[in-house]
Amino acid sequence: MRGRASRPSCFEQASRARRVIPDEATILARPESAKSRLLTEHRTPGNKRGSMQTRMKNLKTGAIIDYRFRAEEFIERAILDEVEFEYLYSDGDSFHFMNTQTYEQMHLTREQLGETVYYLIPNAVVRVEFFDNKPIGVALPDTMDLKVTQTEPTLQKATASAVMKPATLETGLVVQVPPFVNEGDKIKVDTSEARYVQRVE
């Protein structure tokens, strides 16, 4: 059963009477359709009122538009439904998921998923985000455990304080890891920053 949910910092509902300063992940409720912000630039020309120049993506059509928000303008965050799905497999640029309650299957494209594709491994449980009953993306857990497939060999007498080294993970994601991490190790990765957290024993 679909439940109405929201990511704490990005997708909580905002009153129309409240001024919201959105970040790059914010979904805005606009009259024509919801918009996802891609780029942000704050401008304060001389003694004039400040403004925010944005580039937004229409979640329904995929169209990219430029829009400038005035300092006194009010906006509203859109509310997304989140449903638990299990990631199954990828087929080219299509990524297939199964609803853990109904077993209904669906797919999302690489374009819809963006950087989240680097955290998808078979059987991973995620929350698919819906807007107006249409899937638009995936909300990841805070961390994911991923296997190191390629990195430089461990250096003798390496310590956690030594210089970090790049490591390629099973999904193709590249992160910086301590020198004691080896190929075949499983590490915990912060999904919001693509950052190494710790080695998984």
Between residues 197 and 162, the one the model is more confident about: 197
| Confidence at 129, pLDDT banded by 50, 70, 90 | confident
| Confidence at 44, pLDDT banded by 50, 70, 90 | low
CATH 2.40.50.140 residue ranges of the chain are: 81-139, 143-200
**pLDDT at site 9:** 32
CATH T-level fold of 3-77: SH3 type barrels. (2.30.30)
| Confidence at 134, pLDDT banded by 50, 70, 90 | confident
User: In degrees, to the nearest 5, what angle opens at C-alpha 194 toward C-alphas 77 and 135?
Assistant: 40
Q: Which of 23-27, 77-81, 115-119, 179-183 has the lowest mean pLDDT?
A: 23-27
pLDDT at 133 over 80: yes
Among 4-8, 26-30, 69-73, top mean pLDDT goes to 69-73
Share of the chain above pLDDT 70, in %: 59
pLDDT at 175 over 60: yes
Q: Return the structure tokens found at 58.
A: 């229409």
Between residues 57 and 19, the one the model is more confident about: 57
Integer angstrom CA distances of residue 78 from 10, 67, 166: 10, 17, 37
DSSP for 103-164, written as a single string: --EEEEEHHHHGGGGGG--TT-EEEEEEETTEEEEEEPPSEEEEEEEEEPPPPTT--TTSPP
Q: Tell me which CATH code domain 143-200 carries.
A: 2.40.50.140
What is the spatial distance between Cα 130 and Cα 54, in angstroms, rounded to a whole number? 23
pLDDT at 88 over 90: yes
Between residues 1 and 172, the one the model is more confident about: 172
Q: Which of 33-47, 59-73, 77-91, 183-197 has the lowest mean pLDDT?
A: 33-47
Q: Which of 62-76, 117-131, 141-155, 157-171 has the lowest mean pLDDT?
A: 62-76
pLDDT at 78 over 50: yes
pLDDT at 118 over 90: yes
CATH T-level fold of 81-139: OB fold (Dihydrolipoamide Acetyltransferase, E2P) (2.40.50)
pTM (2 decimals)?
0.66
